[in-house]
Amino acid sequence: MVLKKIFAAILIAAGAGCAWADGLKSLETFMKSAQSGRSEFTQTVTSPPKDGQAGRTKTSSGSFEFQRPGRFKFHYRKPFEQLIVADGQTLWLYDADLNQVTQRTQSKALGSTPAALLASAPDLAALRADFALESAPEQDGLQWVLATPKAKDGQLKSVRVGFAGEQLAALDILDSFGQRSLIRFTGMQLNPALPAGTFQFKPPAGADVLSQ
């Protein structure tokens, strides 16, 4: 489930203006010009209420980097170390505590998820082929954009993207099971010079490697 939320987080990793029209224009510009980026993030996952009890929350934090086309890395540092790396061919998931690696063919793992769209969609018209885009009410001092998948058989129900001025500030993801993931970005940098080995991953010695 965390993986699906991470895919959603990569959907619109760039700033956009407060006005809806300006936001769409900024998003389109990003898809054409932003080739790489990095930021810190904090993620809070809230499970749906059950048996009259409030949903439980789990908080994690780390760093995020991406490079088009099709490369990204989420490095969770707290409370447990975990890596999610896409190198353009293979999607790697590494759990440090379990010393376990899961590898998947990237094209099959991402499919029509927002991460795949970010890596391949050339413009907003292509994005709209799979997502309904609309403005959402202002909340918490942020302007929001709502992206709803047109396909109804996926695990992603909706993604709300929050902006403070022209800076990406938050991502609010809801899955089909009612689980919510709120990701807040800090210090987003666009088009930094990332080291050549940023998206390379080699399973650590002795790790269990599973293929899916």
| pLDDT value, residue 26 | 56
- Give residues with Cβ within 8 angstroms of 29, minimum separation 6: none
The beta-strand segments (E) located in 47-200 are 57-67, 71-78, 82-87, 90-95, 100-105, 131-139, 142-149, 156-164, 167-175, 180-190
Which residue intervals of 57-123 are DSSP H helices? 106-110, 114-120
Residue 199 located in a structural domain: no
d(C-alpha 208, C-alpha 98), whole Å: 9
Model confidence at 112, pLDDT cuts 50, 70, 90, reads very low
If we measure between CA atoms, which residue out of 30, 89, 17, 73 comes closest to residue 198? 73
CATH number at residue 84: 2.50.20.10
Tens digit of pLDDT for each residue in 8-50?
445 444 333 334 444 565 566 667 777 888 889 999 999 998 8
**Is residue 202 in a domain?**
no
- What's the mean pLDDT in 150-172? 77
32 lies in a domain? yes
Please indicate, yes or no, if residue 204 is contained in any of the structural domains: no
Q: Which residues contact 190 (CB under 8 A, 6 or more apart)?
A: 14, 15, 30, 34, 36, 37
**Report for 9-13, 32-36, 109-113, 131-135: range of highest mean pLDDT:** 131-135
Residue 179, domain extent: 2-191
Residue 201 lies in a domain: no
Give the pLDDT confidence score for residue 16 in this predicted structure: 34
pLDDT, one tens digit per residue, over 173-189 is: 888 889 998 989 899 88
**Greater pLDDT, 196 or 107:** 196
In a domain? residue 197? no
Per-residue pLDDT for 210 more than 70?
yes
Judge whether 161 lies within some domain: yes
DSSP state of 50: B
| Residue-averaged pLDDT of the chain | 78
For residue 16, is it within any domain? yes
Q: Print burial letters for 49-78: b (CB count within 10 Å at least 16), e (below 16).
A: eeeeeeeeeeebbbebbbbeebbbbbbbee
| Number of domains into which the chain is organized | 1
Coil, strand or helix: which one is 128?
helix
